Amino acid sequence: MEHKSNPNFLLLFCCLAWSISACQPSQSPQSNHLETEVLPQYRESKQISSAAVNEITLLVAYPGHQGRVLDAAFSAGGEILATSGQDRVIRVWDTSSNQELHSFSMHSVDMADIDISITDQLLASGEAIWDLESGQELFNLERGSPIPALVAFSPDGSLLALARLDQGVKLVDTTSGEVTHTFEVGEDQRTKRMEFSPDGSLLAAGVIDGTIRIWDVESGKIVQTLHYRGETDIHDLAYSGDGNFLAATGRLPKSILWDTHSGDVLHTFPMRDNGLGIDFSPDGSLLAVSGGAERSILLFELPGGKLIQTLDLGEQSLAVTFSPDGRYLTAGTFDGQILLFGLSEEP
């Protein structure tokens, strides 16, 4: 996701730590007992890229959640990392100090999708949109609904895409909380993952039937359909930073890279098991994929598609995400850990 940095961000989050506590009294008791393992020094200024792939190292291991980590989202500059878990808790981390800033509870556990807006002012889950400066809940998105939801902010932060399985995809105006459009997906065609194109004109949604529906945001019409193959789940998808490519992974033992203009398949990346998470590095030189059997992150060089590095996780991972500034790559594992990778110090 593309974001702009906010120089007052850390100050805002100091306020937020108190504010969220006041707004969400049912904080997880685990937040006061976390022991973060910090590993050797690293370079903060350089981006993760295919040229520096051999320098990627594990920087920090946060013992973040009880049960699986389900999603992760960075702020624009990578200073803040939000994670959600099977324990129905959203945790917010300061990646500079490696401290947990705060945590608050969710009602729903399935999917537990989260996102941070481009301005770093909003945090959304399928239950609510929060103002990160004040810590106040701005809009209730059917909190307590038994139907889990997916969320994705538009690149300018003005819209939030909200999908509740087979109820279609709604676009919510983040200033008013009003639904501006509803995109229908059809009966029993549940949405599994969503992302806006970098220019915000398109919304891609992976559907349970193995297709990716791409809507024109303004008209609400489907302008392209990509086929992952067969009636099978798509677990994750991502646009490249320039919008020229879209990648998806799912229940089949492969990930696919498409040209978004022609719809042609450019690469098929074989895997030992189904894919779980996928993301592009901000510079577009790497595609990161996590798989079930691999228990690792596979890094493919682009545009060639060659596997050039494997990062061992020791466990399966659903949440694989690069920070928008390219400094970090995070993986949230099935055993509750949040692993933060970056570039090691030069000898």
CA pair distance 211, 233, nearest whole angstrom: 9
Q: Which residues of 102-127 are buried (b: 16+ CB within 10 A; e: fewer)?
A: bbbebebbebbbbbbbbbbbbbbbbb
pLDDT band, very low/low/confident/very high, at 37 (cuts 50, 70, 90): low
Q: Are 84 and 90 in contact (CB under 8 A)?
A: yes
pLDDT value of residue 17: 39
What percent of the chain shows pLDDT beyond 70? 81
Beta-carbon count within 10 A of 166 CB: 16
Instruction: Read off φ and ψ for residue 19, nearest 5 degrees.
Output: -65, -45
pLDDT value of residue 213: 92
Instruction: Read off φ and ψ for residue 130, nearest 5 degrees.
Output: -110, 145
Whether pLDDT at 7 is above 50: no
pLDDT value of residue 127: 86
pLDDT value of residue 184: 81
pLDDT value of residue 345: 67
- Residue 300 pairs in a beta bridge with 287, 307
59-107 pLDDT, tens digit per residue, is 999 987 888 999 999 988 899 999 998 888 888 889 989 988 877 777 7
What percent of the chain shows pLDDT beyond 90? 48
Q: What is the DSSP string of 120-154?
A: S-EEEESSEEEETTT--EEEE--TT-SS--EEEE-
Whether pLDDT at 207 is above 90: no
Between 37 and 145, residue with greater pLDDT: 145
CA pair distance 116, 119, nearest whole angstrom: 8
pLDDT value of residue 108: 63
Measured between its terminal Cα atoms, the distance across the chain in Å is 32
Residue range 26-37: mean pLDDT, rounded: 42
pLDDT value of residue 64: 79
| Side chain identity at residue 299, one-letter code | L
Between 61 and 135, residue with greater pLDDT: 61
Rg of the Cα trace of the chain?
Answer: 19
Residue range 151-163: mean pLDDT, rounded: 94
| Residue 255 Cα to chain centre, angstroms | 17
Instruction: Read off φ and ψ for residue 52, nearest 5 degrees.
Output: -115, 20
Burial of 225 (0-12, 13-18, 19+ CB in 10 A): exposed
Residue range 42-57: mean pLDDT, rounded: 83
pLDDT band, very low/low/confident/very high, at 142 (cuts 50, 70, 90): confident
Between 48 and 7, residue with greater pLDDT: 48
Whether pLDDT at 111 is above 70: no
267-320 pLDDT, tens digit per residue, is 999 888 888 999 999 999 999 999 877 889 999 999 999 999 999 998 889 889
113-127, 169-183, 195-209: the lowest-pLDDT one: 113-127
What domains lie within the chain, and their CATH numbers?
Answer: 9-344 (2.130.10.10)
- This prediction has a pTM of 0.84
**Does residue 303 have a cis bond before it (omega within 30 degrees)?**
yes
Whether pLDDT at 34 is above 60: no
Q: What is the DSSP string of 209-247?
A: TSEEEEEETTT--EEEEEE-SSS--EEEEEE-TTSSEEE
pLDDT value of residue 120: 72
Instruction: Read off φ and ψ for residue 17, nearest 5 degrees.
Output: -60, -40
